Structure 1
Amino acid sequence: MRANAEADLSHLQALVGAKLPSQVIALQSSFWRKRVEMYVEQAKEFQALSVPREWPPSPSRSRTPWTGR
């Protein structure tokens, strides 16, 4: 979350300093590319945290909850 806030602030500062519309477009393009990369990395980290530690599951855990088999 902090990385997102810092990226937003530095992007805003760069936009304020832009003199030409082409600079604004280049800054926006770069910002969104970096933002998407950041979201992908965060999604990978979240996925790594949500993966079960034991794979394949032990036989006692392989039963389906609705049948008990």
Structure 2
Amino acid sequence: MSDALAPPSSPTDAQLHGKACIECGSDGGPFVPAGHRHIETCAGRAPLGWAVVACPEHAPAVTE
């Protein structure tokens, strides 16, 4: 996964809160740490960073 800013419409709240895979959105777990996703905030403000998780299927594709 890149450290780039994500569009405002994605990822979902569940993905940002570590309750769903950051890649596919599955919520079945178990999950593994998958780095951070940074989300743009108001113009001129610093982006917010979220620690995210991935399901085992997507964990190998996730890099920080």
TM bucket (normalised to shorter chain) is under 0.3
- RCO higher in structure (CA 8 A, sep ≥6): 2
Q: Which has the higher helix share?
A: 1
What is the TM-score of this pair, normalised by structure 2? 0.26
Q: As a proportion of its length, which structure holds more strand?
A: 2
Q: Which has the larger radius of gyration?
A: 1
TM-score, reference length from structure 1: 0.25
